């Protein structure tokens, strides 16, 4: 039973446009969320996080939105660049504990 | 700084063989983790350590053992490899409980 779901396995976006990656979760106890980016043959790298006390967190071109009532979070990348092409994982935890539950990932391709 | 390194990068084993994966970090982080990533699934936690000399089970610990004799190294052992252990293994570190995690480049293991 996937507690963290990324229902879109892949997404293609034109350079300069907005990329929106979605993540849904089922456990209402989750209160800390992270996004990781992964290039081929490399380990995931941390991108951005959000606590459930917020509904938005911004870091440069990356913004994460959290909708607790819908149990949904999204990552917005504006503007998208070819270097953003990677697999993006969302992860969730109950409190800031070691036990992150990861989604299955969304492969983003930014077309030049 | 090398960050988090993993040895080896690739390995092919026959069923029943044993091997040890090495994770080394120069970040002076207390916490270290071993994950596996399988197609269509997110990263799943195998074992983790909260400091030198400590280890604990994660989500999918069966068939694996770990040791943390030195702060900078975290070893993952397979005593009798099975085809179900074919996967990509990632080591990660963290500098405090629940912080973002820093991942190594991964080890691709195939068990025939």
Q: Which residues of A touch B106 (CB under 8 A)?
A: 41-43
Nearest CA among B86, B28, B89 for reference residue B58: B89
Mean pLDDT (chain B) is: 93
Q: Which residues of A touch B40 (CB under 8 A)?
A: 104
Other C-beta atoms closer than 10 Å to the C-beta of A49 total 18
Least confident of A60-64, A85-89, A90-94, B4-8: A90-94
Choose, out of B21, B101, B104, the residue to mutate when testing the contact with A (most A CBs < 10 Å): B101
What pLDDT was estimated at residue B1?
67
Q: What is the spatial distance between Cα A88 and Cα A44, in angstroms, rounded to a whole number?
A: 8
What pLDDT was estimated at residue B97?
63
Contact across the interface for A96 and B98, Cβ inside 8 Å: yes
Annotate A12-81 with DSSP letters as a single string.
EEETTS-EEEEEEE--TT--EEEEEEE-TTS--EEEEEEETT-SEEEETTEEEEEETTTTEEEEEESS--
Rounded to an integer, the average pLDDT of B2-22 is 95
Rounded to an integer, the average pLDDT of A89-98 is 84
Q: What is the spatial distance between Cα A46 and Cα A35, in angstroms, rounded to a whole number?
A: 6
Looking at chain A, the whole-number percentage of residues with pLDDT higher than 90 is 88
Tens digit of pLDDT for each residue in B55-93? Answer: 999 989 999 999 999 999 999 999 999 999 999 999 999
Q: What is the spatial distance between Cα A19 and Cα A6, in angstroms, rounded to a whole number?
A: 14
Nearest to B100 among A4, A46, A105 (CB): A46
What pLDDT was estimated at residue B98?
62
Q: How confident is the model at residue A95 (pLDDT cuts 50, 70, 90)?
A: confident
Tens digit of pLDDT for each residue in B99-112? Answer: 788 999 999 999 99
Contacts of A21 (CB under 8 A, 6+ apart): A6, A8, A11, A35, A74, A75, A77, A88, A90, A106, A108
Q: Is the pLDDT of residue A96 over 90?
A: no
Q: How confident is the model at residue B52 (pLDDT cuts 50, 70, 90)?
A: very high
Q: What is the spatial distance between Cα A35 and Cα A50, in angstroms, rounded to a whole number?
A: 9
């Amino acid at each position: 039973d996937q507690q963290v779901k990324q229902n879109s396995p892949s997404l293609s976006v034109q350079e300069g446009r907005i990329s929106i990656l979605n993540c849904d979760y089922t456990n209402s106890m989750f209160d800390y969320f992270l996004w990781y980016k992964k290039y081929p043959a490399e380990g995931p790298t941390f991108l951005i996080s959000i606590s459930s006390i917020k509904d938005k967190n911004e870091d440069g071109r990356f913004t994460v939105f959290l909708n607790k009532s819908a149990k949904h979070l999204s990552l917005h990348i504006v503007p998208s660049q070819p270097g953003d092409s990677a697999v993006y994982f969302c992860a969730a935890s109950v409190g800031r504990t070691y036990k992150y539950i990861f989604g299955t990932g969304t492969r983003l391709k930014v077309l030049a | 700084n090398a960050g988090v390194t993993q040895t080896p990068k690739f390995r092919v084993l026959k069923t029943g063989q044993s091997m040890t994966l090495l994770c080394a970090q120069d970040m002076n982080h207390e916490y270290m983790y071993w994950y596996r990533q399988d197609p269509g699934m997110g990263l799943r936690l195998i074992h983790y350590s909260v400091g030198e000399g400590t280890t604990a089970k994660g989500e999918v610990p069966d068939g694996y053992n770990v040791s943390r004799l030195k702060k900078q190294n975290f070893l993952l052992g397979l005593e009798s490899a099975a085809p179900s252990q074919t996967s990509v293994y990632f080591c990660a570190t963290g500098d405090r409980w629940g912080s973002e995690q820093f991942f190594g480049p991964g080890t691709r293991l195939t068990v025939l």
